[in-house]
Chain A
Amino acid sequence: MTIEAAAPASMAPDAAARPLVHPGWVRVTHWVNALAMLMMIGSGWQIYDASPLFDFVFSPQIALGNWLAGALLWHFAAMWLLVVNGIVYVALGLASGRFRAKLFPIRPREVLRDFVAALRGKLSHDDLSVYNAVQKLLYAGVLLAGLVIVLTGISIWKPVQFWWLTAFFGGYDTARYVHFAAMAAIVAFVFVHVVLALIVPKSLRAMIVGR
């Protein structure tokens, strides 16, 4: 891909010597997904405000779309980007064996061990191509949350045509709460994800240039 070809030239001389951590398709789908999620969550907050589920609303300053119709236009346009990009990512992740190699197995004992190590600041980041158990759990978890948010989204969008899916999530009203909960889980993940990327900046570099 052009990104891989162009990257070494703009970097330090030793950059090409570092092993490739993220292939091009991972980096492209990662950033497209980041953009799509930003639009989906921002517009979703504006839509939420039209009929809040809880005793609070999101400030229009951090929401997207200005008013309900504008937010709906954003939400139902960005959904295509999110879903098409997500399908490409999951298909390549499964076909390439990357999911199986990187995310599994997830052992509770290792998660606990790595979690304690992370809190003590003793977790190694020397090899970015190997995920620790906490990372595995979080990345697998956010994939699951992504699946839930798409399926509950379809349940709310098409509660008649896909009534069986809506029924699976406990009916129309319950599906709205599950949709919200999945959003909250993803936002919490993004917060932790971004903070950790700041603490280990070379991980951010690897997601941009691959190495």
Chain B
Amino acid sequence: MMARPRKPIPGVDARDLIGDGAKLLPAPSRRLFLRGIVSVGALATLTGCDIIDGSTAENALRVVSNFNDWVQARLFNRHTLAPTYSESQVMRPFRFNAYYDEDDAPEVDGDTYRLQIGGLVDNKKPWSLPELYKLPEVSQITRLVCVEGWSAIGSWQGVRLSDFLKLIGADTRAKYVWFQCAEGYSNTIDMPTALHPQTQLTLKFDHKILPQAYGFPIRIRIPTKLGFKNPKYVTAMWVQNNDAGGYWENQGYNWFSGL
């Protein structure tokens, strides 16, 4: 993009910016034009400049984004539940969403699949799907909100993550839970969210084994976070004290992304 002279405060001296254009106008309207260009001119300059659109600005803005993580962690209330909906409000078929086409969604072999467990847990035994399907099931009909703005109501069944963490003897004083996915995707979430009663190790969608499109064999369903913080095709879970980041978070999306 073209670099242009820029003023931090709109309208302070618009002449530099629009002088050439104003010369094309007759004198009286030129003065009027210069006087009042304030908002319109500033909009054009603010949005057309590589400094404010580029990585320089984004790096500075990430400082505020980190502050927003802190704010959101304090706004998060472990007793506040996401609104739930009725069966008839479930979107069928549910929307497929990923940064790749549905045809490219990972194909996980359910027979050989093992959920790897690691980090600050007592029992690191990997879990097969039949073992996971035997655990007590919880169900929820909640709204998945995408960072893009759209939302969809879905029906998810699986194991309450806080129950599962207890079962494997996880140290719930640890700060984070990190998830690794079959296609290379990853997510780190905060422990308070992991222990939220609606956070679910999801094995089914709409009471049927999770289809490939929606994350077979495991999705972590977190109705208190944006969709991209709900990893699919999960193959490993680590309880740890260091923030291992995530696929989108590392590119500039807000880390906490709470709802």
Contact = CB atoms under 8 A, between A and B. Distances in A.
Interface of A: 31, 34-35, 38-39, 42, 47-48, 50-51, 61-66, 68-70, 72-74, 76-77, 80, 156, 158-161, 163, 167, 172-173, 176, 190, 194-195, 197-198, 201, 204, 208
B26 interface: no
A42 B253 contact: no
Given A42-B46, A160-B259, A161-B259, A51 B36 contact: no
Contacts of A61: 47-48
B251 interface: yes
Contacts of A39: 46
Nearest to B149: A51
Contacts of A50: 147-149
Contact of A160 (B35, B52, B83): B83
Given A35-B10, A69-B251, A156-B149, 16 more contacts: A34-B10, A42-B43, A64-B53, A70-B53, A76-B68, A77-B64, A160-B81, A160-B83, A160-B223, A161-B77, A161-B80, A161-B258, A167-B83, A194-B36, A194-B38, A201-B36
A184 to B, nearest CB: 16
Contacts of B52: 64
A173 B91 CA distance: 14
Contact of A201 (B32, B54, B68, B76): B32
13 contacts: A34-B10, A38-B43, A39-B46, A51-B148, A64-B52, A73-B64, A77-B64, A158-B258, A176-B149, A194-B38, A197-B36, A197-B38, A198-B35
Contacts of B259: 158-161
Contacts of B258: 158, 160-161
A150 to B, nearest CB: 15
Interface in B61-97: 61-62, 64-65, 68, 75-77, 80-83
A65 B150 CA distance: 19
Contacts of A48: 149
Given A31-B9, A42-B47, A64-B47, A173 B42 contact: no
B76 A161 contact: yes
A68 to B, nearest CB: 7
Given A51-B148, A62-B44, A74-B61, A163 B82 contact: yes
Contacts of A208: 11
B237 to A, nearest CB: 23
Range, interface on chain B: 35 or more
Contacts of B48: 61
B36 to A, nearest CB: 3
A64 B51 CA distance: 11
A94 B209 CA distance: 59
Which A-B residue pairs are the 9 nearest by beta carbons?
Answer: A198-B36, A51-B149, A73-B61, A69-B252, A77-B64, A50-B148, A51-B148, A66-B53, A160-B259
Contacts of A31: 9-11
A190 to B, nearest CB: 6
B221 interface: no
Nearest to A31: B9
Contacts of A176: 149
A165 to B, nearest CB: 12
Contacts of A159: 83, 143, 145, 259
Contacts of B98: none
A65 B38 contact: no
Given A31-B9, A48-B149, A73 B36 contact: no
B149 A160 contact: no
Given A51-B148, A76-B68, A76-B254, A204 B83 contact: no
B146 interface: yes
Contacts of B42: 34-35, 38
Interface in B223-242: 223-224
B10 A38 contact: yes
